[in-house]
Structures are given as structure tokens and as C-alpha cells.
Amino acid sequence: MRQRVVTGIVLAAIFLPLLWLPALYFSFVGALVLILCAFELLNMFKRTHVLDHWSSLLVYLATLAIYAATLAFYHQLLGGGAFLVIIGSIPVVLTLWKWLAKLPWRTLLSSFVVVLYIGLPIAALSHLQSRGVAVLVYVLLTVMLTDSFAYFVGLAIGKHKLSPSISPKKTVEGAVGGTLIAVPFASLFAVQTAILEGRPIAWVVLVGVIISITGQLGDLLASFLKRKHGIKDFSNLLPGHGVFMDRLDSTLLASFVFSVILLATEVL
């Protein structure tokens, strides 16, 4: 536990200052993180089935393409029609490669998982940062508080397993308690920083609940993938931690959902 805390502090000292980079530079940081996350996921998939170097390269390129296209769409540099064409062409290209390289369907499915699971959410992270550091910090804070309080509540009063086959230590009481305690703090931060300005407090609380729950679902999804492929962490590079995927598992889905909420509320 001590090793994990020390490593976490070092990681925070290195990466937190990057949140204040100009949006363009942060998007390049996002692209680097995307490549490293894709690397970790591809290594995981290689444990159970063949994924050759050319197929891996194509997955990297497809993931970067969906990242760039999604960011361009967020910033209105790409129209909706063009965005859909690019997004739609990626599965077509991957499927054609599957037939040409005579790869199994499982490899194609793994490719889709990497492209969608990494490309869209990390684009959402960059989009949130471009709207203001406080917007991204709000998501990170909500996810972090939910995770921390879920752990302590589960430790104190947890009796009912949330998903024993996926994450045996998580409890229903911890999940509910984490959300109930984290959302008021996150909502206070949202009000003080005016990131949901003009919205009623009930809406702010509802958004906090959605982010908190999707963060926990993202954690469960990552746990499912790791358990299915027989690993504890996506990477063992850092002591007590994985590296990028293990740190971002809860944040990825939460960031994507919050980004969609923000875009939807601007249209409606």
C-alpha cells in the first residue's frame, strides 16, 4: 500500500501540471497517452490470440484516426457527415484487413475494442481540457472521490458483492456509498467553478451521479477485460500500479459520457 501511495504521488507530480497546457499541446499529450494505452491493450490481447505486427500497426493508425476525427468534430473543424464517413470507414478497413490477412474474428473484435475503447474516450479527455482545466478536473475529482469512498465504505459496511465474478472485492454498499458521498463534493466544485453555469442544481447533481456511476462501470469493464485475459494489471512498469490503462480505466468512460452530455445540452 505504501509503495502504491508513493508511486501515485510521483505520477501526480509529473502529469497534473500537463493539465494546464494549451489545448493544442494537450491534444498531442493525449495522442501519446492513446498510443501507450493501445500498446497495453494490444499486449493483453496477444496473450490469448495472435495479433501480428502489421495488424497492430493498423490498429494504432485506426485509433489515432478516430482520435483526430473526434477532436476535429468536437472543435467544429469537421462536419457531422465527414465525421460519420471517417468513423464508418474504420471498421470497413479493419474488416477488409481481416479477410486479406486471414485473421480470426476474435482478432477483428479485439481491434474494434482498442479503437473504440481508447480513441473516443481520450478524444473526450482532450475535448474537456480544451473547455477549461476545471471541466476536466471535475471529472477526475468525481471519479477519484467515488473510487476512494467506495473503497472505504465497502471496507466498513460492505456485505453484498457487486460483481463477484469480475471484481470480488467490490460491494453494492461501497458503490452506492461512493456515489452518495462523492457527488455532493463534486457538485460543490461544479457550482464554484461555474462549469455547468445556468443549469439548476438538480441537473448538476444528476450529472454528478451519472459521472460517478459511469466511472464505476468503466472500472468494472477494465476488470472484466483483465480477468478474461488472466492479468492483474494492464502493465507492471510502475510498482504498485499499472501504468496508463490502470490509472484511466474509470476516467475513460466517465469522460466520454460527460463530453456527450455537454455537447447534447448545447444542442438542446
pLDDT at res. 266: 77
| E strands in the chain | 161-163, 167-171
Cα Rg, the chain, nearest whole Å: 19
* pLDDT block averages, 10 residues each, the chain of length 268: 60 81 93 91 77 83 93 87 88 86 81 90 94 95 94 91 88 94 96 90 95 95 86 67 74 94 80
User: Would you state the pLDDT for residue 3?
Assistant: 55
Q: Are 119 and 34 in contact (CB under 8 A)?
A: yes
Query: What is the reported pLDDT for 214?
Result: 96
Residues in the chain: 268
Instruction: Please state, in angstroms and as integers, the Cα–Cα distance from residue 162 to each residue in 78, 169, 180, 220, 226, following that order.
Output: 41, 8, 16, 10, 17
* pLDDT, position 139: 96
Percentage helix, strand, coil, to 5, in the chain?
80, 5, 20
Domain ranges of the chain: 22-130, 132-268
- The DSSP output letter for 217 is H
Cβ(52)–Cβ(111) below 8 Å: no
